[in-house]
Structure 1
Amino acid sequence: MGAAVRGACQVTSGALLWGTIGLAHSFVHEAGILAVSSLRAAIAACVLLIYMACMRTTSGLKRLAESRNLLICLVGAIAVTAFQIFLFAAIRSAGVAMATLLAIGSAPVFTGVVGLLQKQRLELGWLLATILGITGLGLICIPSKSASVIPLLGVTYALAAGTAYTAYTIAAKSLTTAGIQPQAVTTAYFTGAALLLSPTVAVTGGIRGLSSPSAILAVAWLGIIATSVAYVLYLRGLSEVTAPSAALLGLAEPLMAAVIGYLLLKEEASARSVTGMALIIAGIVCSISSTWSRNRRAMIFAQPNSVP
């Protein structure tokens, strides 16, 4: 398996774990959004710091202290903070499926626009996969007859989350491409997010709704699996694929969220939404296939021509 294909699979795996956020959030609905976001960030930062200390891989944190990297890291931490707040707000306003689909589904478009502004070459495979993914999102997000009103506030929150997700992806891509360890970037981002959010929790007192065993387990899942593991997988893959491709592969998150929302949370599904999910899957497969083909061509052209 080539590095690019492995990276695409890692990005997709991380996105699938992110897709469980909505289900976990359903167990902490009574708690404040800021409290859940703060605890999630704090748990992730602690777990990653312990892991890096045990593995003796803290050198990446030192590189992040360099002036240029520190500025990018600050932007990433702010983006992660904003993404969590807006995503959880969108989930409460529009439901798990629509909120996650819009938040992550808008990211490939935003990232592609930034790539064009930076004069990056966007391949035909990425364009086709993006069209499939966005079409699928559109089918899912069209309200049914029984819910004919689109929750505009929830849509606004979701698009704001998508913008923050785009900023995070681009900032993280620049750091991992420079050779900084993915776990170091994730640790720094969530340490910064926890520091930014902790004062607001003290003011709002939202942590009172997290006393039940199910809420504690849900927050632990959010911090350890849906954050620490998911983000490290995503960032490891991000060093091998372009930012627009990573944002496109991230559509695995809203796909997983939609499946969970329809099957476990009893959110309304229809033939149109199932068709939309199929198109998203086709877009992800198209993106991975395009990455594999590009990697294969590069390997062929890299081989020296045989001389008879």
Structure 2
Amino acid sequence: MRGNPVLWNSALTALAPVVWGSTYVVTTELLPPDRPLLAAMLRALPAGLVLLAIGRVLPRGMWWWRALVLGVLNIGAFFYFLFVAADRLPGGVAALVLSMQPMVVLVLAAVLLKNGIKPVQVAACALGVLGVGLLVLRAQAALDTFGVIAGLLGAVSMAAGIVFTKRWGRPEGVGLLTFTGWQLTVGGLVLLPVMSTVEGLPDHLTGKNITGFLYLGVIGALVAYAIWFRGIERLPALAVSFLGFASPLAATVLGYLFLEQALSAWQAIGAVAVIAAVVMAQPRHREQAPAPTPEAKEPIHHHQLS
């Protein structure tokens, strides 16, 4: 696999949504109940601060507002809309609405990155949504208008985050972990006041709770987002967005393995459709990386944290 850089990059990047797919199991088994915003904030902010402390580099110039925009789109707003949708919709409906993300990426990439829209990409989008529907929907699924809107806004937020991350790149001289730390910190700071107002802090935390939060922060955020942003740098935006389908797929498999959830024949067909859609959307050959924009070439001076 290492002999094929495209296949290697796709497989490695897919690990991030696979890890995110484990969030449901970790939440139900380890975290305190009814604290989704607390989980989101603790997933982002501590990991971001750790990466900032390690890298000791702050944004400079235009990268202050770019880091703010990317942190809100990729982390803060996305997490908020994700948990609102999950709270107001059955899990299957929420996953189905969020699976519209590749379609948004397809349109935004055509407008902002000047990428052409190919019939195979449209077909992959349709197949992916169908597969997710078969994978996660249940007969008793119900709709809530505000929940659907939140899910769509979450899909738009993450799609825009992928496309703008691809368009702006990463400033020269700034490592991937530091770049990830900027966004996690911004996202965590955006979520902090919302969490404090809506949920507040629990009276106490158990050892299981702490273990769950550590997993979400270290593996689910620090490691997974570093892998995710690395993939955005090396793969087409649409290919990366399709890898997000690995999240509901992993959640279904883990639920079957660890939560004794049944796996129907229709879900198995959905899983095959999801995998087929992801494969269809991946590049078939090593594509030449686009030349960096003049802004991306501008070096970032190391403004060290005191």
1:25 to 24, 27, 30: 27
Return closer, same or farther for 1:264/1:88 CA change in 2, 3 Å cut-off: farther
1:208 match: secondary structure: coil
- What's 2:157 paired with? 164
The CA distance in 1 between the partners of 2:149 and 2:167, in whole Å, is 28
2:135 to 115, 140, 153: 140
Return closer, same or farther for 1:127/1:82 CA change in 2, 3 Å cut-off: same
Say yes or no: does 1:197 pair with 2:197. Answer: no
Return closer, same or farther for 1:87/1:236 CA change in 2, 3 Å cut-off: same
1:83 to 78, 82, 90: 78
| Contact persistence 1:47–1:224 (CA under 8 A) | no
| Contact persistence 1:81–1:197 (CA under 8 A) | yes
Query: What's the Cα RMSD here?
Result: 2.7
| Contact persistence 2:92–2:137 (CA under 8 A) | no
Question: TM-score scaled to structure 1, two decimals?
Answer: 0.80
- What's 1:173 paired with? 166
Select the structure that is richer in helix. Answer: 1
Return closer, same or farther for 1:45/1:229 CA change in 2, 3 Å cut-off: same
Return closer, same or farther for 1:102/1:274 CA change in 2, 3 Å cut-off: farther
Q: Trace 1:31-46 onto structure 2 (pairs within 5 A).
A: 31-46=34-49
1:26-48 Cα deviation digits (max 9, x unpaired): 23352433322221112211332
Question: TM-score scaled to structure 2, two decimals?
Answer: 0.80
- Displacement of 1:236: 0.8
- Displacement of 1:125: 4.6
1:201-243 Cα deviation digits (max 9, x unpaired): 4444532166122221111111110111000001111111111
Return closer, same or farther for 1:294/1:109 CA change in 2, 3 Å cut-off: same
Return closer, same or farther for 1:142/1:129 CA change in 2, 3 Å cut-off: same
| Contact persistence 2:76–2:190 (CA under 8 A) | yes
1:245 match: secondary structure: helix
Q: Trace 1:1-308 onto structure 2 (pairs within 5 A).
A: 1-26=3-28, 27-50=30-53, 52-53=54-55, 58=56, 61-62=57-58, 64-67=59-62, 69-79=63-73, 80-103=75-98, 105-118=99-112, 119-144=114-139, 147=140, 149-176=142-169, 179=172, 180-204=174-198, 206-208=200-202, 211-265=205-259, 269-288=263-282, 291=283, 293-295=284-286
Where do 5+ consecutive residues of structure 1 fail to align?
A: 299-308
- Displacement of 1:183: 1.7
The CA distance in 2 between the partners of 1:143 and 1:45, in whole Å, is 37
Return closer, same or farther for 1:128/1:200 CA change in 2, 3 Å cut-off: closer
The CA distance in 2 between the partners of 1:295 and 1:247, in whole Å, is 18
Where do 5+ consecutive residues of structure 2 fail to align?
A: 289-306
Return closer, same or farther for 1:184/1:97 CA change in 2, 3 Å cut-off: farther
The CA distance in 1 between the partners of 2:189 and 2:253, in whole Å, is 33
Taking only the aligned residue pairs, the percentage that are identical comes to 24
Return closer, same or farther for 1:4/1:71 CA change in 2, 3 Å cut-off: farther
Paired residues in the alignment total 282
After TM superposition, the structure 1 stretch with the greater mean CA deviation from structure 2, 79-88 or 29-38, is: 29-38
| Contact persistence 1:23–1:260 (CA under 8 A) | yes
2:169 match: secondary structure: helix
Return closer, same or farther for 1:168/1:90 CA change in 2, 3 Å cut-off: same
- What's 2:296 paired with? none
- Displacement of 1:189: 0.8
1:239 match: secondary structure: helix
1:145-166 Cα deviation digits (max 9, x unpaired): xx15345554333222212211
